[in-house]
Structure 1
Amino acid sequence: MSSLAHGNNTLEVEVTNISTHGIWLLAHDKELFMPYDKFPWFKDQAVKSIINVEEQSPGHFYWPDLDVDLTEEIIKHPGRFPLNAKNT
């Protein structure tokens, strides 16, 4: 018996815009905005690191190059969640 090869990730997520104010993320036909003052991990990072995003499960996003892990709930309501990392 042989194992099946892993398929491509069917969940779709894409960074659609990087501006001086923040980042726009498109996931499942929803656009989510992450301003740098609430999401400082993205400020001053290389574009290739910002656009390298994976959806680990529905509504759960991970940027492996930056080791940033966010949910849709955190992105929509950042005030409910304290920052757990320092802006470096």
Structure 2
Amino acid sequence: MPGTNISAAEVTHVSVHGFWLLLGDEELLLPFAEFPWFRQATIEQLTTIEWPSPDHLYWPLLDVDLSVASIRHPENFPLVSGASANPAPQPDAPQAARP
């Protein structure tokens, strides 16, 4: 079992294009185009990060889990969230008829 990570994950910069995450001595870019579930997040939601193991990050206020490998090499993880920046409003579902 790996030891407890004593370093903290830290957001160092946020822009309209994405945010930079410092993991130890490595800084990684998470572009919103590749990680769209972060696009509407608040600063508090982005910066509240848990790093429970070397390859696991968790944003508890967003309930998002990511592998660090998926940030380093997103091309190896082709599945992308269906979340969008401005989801179109959905029409109300038709009401079931009552007897």
Answer yes or no: same fold by TM over 0.5.
Answer: yes
Compute the TM-score of the two structures, normalised by the length of structure 2: 0.73
- Is 1:35 matched up with 2:35? no
RMSD over aligned CA atoms reads 1.5
**Once the 2 structures are TM-superposed, how far is the Cα of residue 11 of structure 1 from its aligned partner?**
3.0
Give the alignment partner of residue 9 of structure 2, picking from 8, 13, 34. Answer: 13
**Once the 2 structures are TM-superposed, how far is the Cα of residue 84 of structure 1 from its aligned partner?**
5.1
Q: Runs (4+) of structure 1 moved beyond 3 Å? A: none
Q: Which runs of 5+ in 2 are unaligned?
A: 85-99
Q: Which runs of 5+ in 1 are unaligned?
A: 1-8
**Once the 2 structures are TM-superposed, how far is the Cα of residue 10 of structure 1 from its aligned partner?**
2.0
Aligned length: 80
**Once the 2 structures are TM-superposed, how far is the Cα of residue 83 of structure 1 from its aligned partner?**
2.7
- Contact 1:11-1:58 at 8 Å conserved across structures: no
The structure number with the bigger radius of gyration is: 2
Compute the TM-score of the two structures, normalised by the length of structure 1: 0.82
